[in-house]
Amino acid sequence: MKQFIITAFGEDRPGIVAKVTEILYKNGLNIEDSAMTRLNDEFVIMLVVKGDTEKSSLENDLKSLEKEGINFTVKEVPLSKEKEKEDYQLYNIIVYGSDKPGIVYNVSKLLAEKSINIADLRTEKTKDLYVMFIQAEIPNSLDITELEKEVESLKDNLNVDISLQCVDTANL
Amino acid sequence: MEKLPILQYPDERLKKVSIEVVDFGKEFKEFVEKLKYTMYNSPGGVGIAAPQVNNHIRTIIVDTSKSTHKTNKVSHGLMVLSNPKIVYGEGEIIFREGCMSIPDYTGNVKRFYYIKVEALDENGKLITFDTEGFEAVVIQHEIDHLDGKVFIEKVVSPKDIFKRKVYK
C-alpha cells in the first residue's frame, strides 16, 4: 500500500474535479483527505490518496490532463500514522482589517513562537477588506492570558482586529 | 446494569423514523432506566434518544444539570420526554455538536436558541416548558434522532465539519 500527495490546478471551469478523480478511480486510489477550492480564477486540488499504484504509472495517466491546462505534482509520502500529540484546545482565530502585506506572516510567526499548530488557514479578500480564518491547536500548557496580551499588541501593530475563540464542542 | 450498545453511523437503523409511545407501563419504565444508565455512562452524558440504542420509540432523555457549557443557562434537570414536539422556536445559536453515534466528527449546526416543548413525561402526562441555550440544543439534537436525522446533514457549510482524533 502506498500513499501519495497530489496537487493539481487549472483555470476554473466545470469538470476539473471529475477529470482528476476519474484517473485516481481508474488507478484504484482512495482519497483519504482533500482540500479542493477556487483561488481567484484557478481551481486548486490537494489530495492525500492511498492505493497500490506505482508513482510512474499514475504520473503517466495524469499527464493527459496537461493538454487540458491542468498542471499536477505527485509525491509519494509515508503512510499516515496516529501521532502522539500534546493535549491541545482548538481555537478559531479570525483576523480582519484592511489589507496590507505581512498579516499572514506576522500572525503565523506569533503562533509558531508559541508552538501553536495551525490545522487550517484560509484567507479571503474583497476590495480592501482582508479576512483570515485559522483553526489553531493551542497546547493546554500555554498561558492563554499571556497569548491574549501578545495578540492585543499585534492588533495594534498591524492595525487589524483579531478574535480568539475557544471552540467548545458539546457531546450530545 | 449494563450499558446498551449505541448504534453508530452509517448504521441504517439510525435513519428509521421512530413511532409514538402509547404504553408507559413496566416494559417502558425498565427500558427508560437502562437508557438513563447508558446516557450517564457515555461520553457527553447529557442526552440520548431511544433509537440510538435500536429501540425505535419517540423517547429522549436529557439532563444538562451538570454541564459547565457556557450556554447552559436554563436546566430542568433530568427529563424523560416522549413524543416531544417543538411547538415554538425563536432566535438562533450555532453550536459545535458531537454525537455518540458519529464519534469521529463534530460539526457546527444552527439551532433555535429558545424553544417551547410539548411532551409526555415518564408517566405519560402532558407537560410543556420553555428552555434556551444548551438545553434547547440538546433537545433539538435528540429529537432529530427520532426522525432518523443526524447532525451531519445540518452543518452550516462544508467548512463546518471536523474530523476529530479523540472523543472526550
In a domain, B127, yes or no: yes
For residue A102, the distance in angstroms to the closest alpha carbon of chain B comes to: 25
- In A32-102, which ranges are continuous DSSP H helix? 55-62
What is the C-alpha separation between A61 and A47, in angstroms, rounded? 16
For residue A24, the distance in angstroms to the closest alpha carbon of chain B comes to: 23
B133 touching A, CB under 8 A?
A: no
Question: Cβ–Cβ of A82/B165 closer than 8 Å?
Answer: yes
In a domain, B49, yes or no: yes
In a domain, B149, yes or no: yes
Q: Residue A101: what residue type?
A: P
Question: Cβ–Cβ of A171/B159 closer than 8 Å?
Answer: no
Contacts of B69 in chain A (CB under 8 A): 168, 170
pLDDT in tens, chain B (168 residues): 999 999 999 899 999 999 999 999 999 999 999 999 999 999 888 999 999 999 999 999 999 999 888 888 899 999 999 999 999 999 998 888 999 999 888 888 999 999 999 999 999 999 999 999 999 999 999 999 999 999 888 886 666 777 764 444
For residue B107, the distance in angstroms to the closest alpha carbon of chain A comes to: 9
Domain range for B111: 12-163
In a domain, B44, yes or no: yes
Q: Which of A82, A167, A172 sits opposite B44 (nearest CB)?
A: A172
A82 touching B, CB under 8 A?
A: yes
Put simply, whether the predicted model's pTM sits higher than 0.80 gets the answer no
Alpha-carbon dihedral sign for residues B49, B52, B54, B56: positive
User: What pLDDT score does B168 carry?
Assistant: 44
User: What pLDDT score does B167 carry?
Assistant: 47
The whole-chain average pLDDT of chain A stands at 93
Q: Which whole number is the average pLDDT over A140-161?
A: 94
Q: Model confidence at A69, in pLDDT bands (50, 70, 90)?
A: very high
B66 touching A, CB under 8 A?
A: no
pLDDT tens digits for range A36-68:
999 999 999 999 999 999 999 999 999 999 999
What is the C-alpha separation between A92 and A76, in angstroms, rounded? 31
Catalytic residue numbers of B read 142
In a domain, B20, yes or no: yes
Contacts of A167 in chain B (CB under 8 A): 96
What is the C-alpha separation between A113 and A117, in angstroms, rounded? 10
Q: What is the CATH number of the domain that holds B133?
A: 3.90.45.10
The structural domain count of chain B equals: 1
Residue A142 contacts residue A65 (beta carbons within 8 Å): no
In a domain, B79, yes or no: yes
In a domain, B7, yes or no: no
B62 touching A, CB under 8 A?
A: no
- The percentage of chain A sitting over the pLDDT mark of 90, rounded to a whole number, equals 80
User: What pLDDT score does A105 carry?
Assistant: 96
What's phi and psi for B74, nearest 5 deg?
-125, 130
A169 touching B, CB under 8 A?
A: yes
Q: Which of B97, B167, B168 sits opposite A172 (nearest CB)?
A: B97
Grid coordinates given for B44: 457527553
Interface size, chain A vs chain B, as Cβ–Cβ contacts under 8 Å: 43
- Interior CA angle at B20 toward B16 and B25, to 5°? 120
In a domain, B6, yes or no: no
Question: Cβ–Cβ of A170/B99 closer than 8 Å?
Answer: no
Q: Which of A82, A85, A172 sits opposite B46 (nearest CB)?
A: A172
Domains of chain A by range and CATH? 2-77 (3.30.70.260), 88-166 (3.30.70.260)
Contacts of B100 in chain A (CB under 8 A): 171-172
Q: Residue B146: what residue type?
A: L
What's phi and psi for B157, nearest 5 deg?
-155, 165
Q: Give the residue carrying C-alpha cell 493538454.
A: A67
| ipTM value for the complex | 0.71
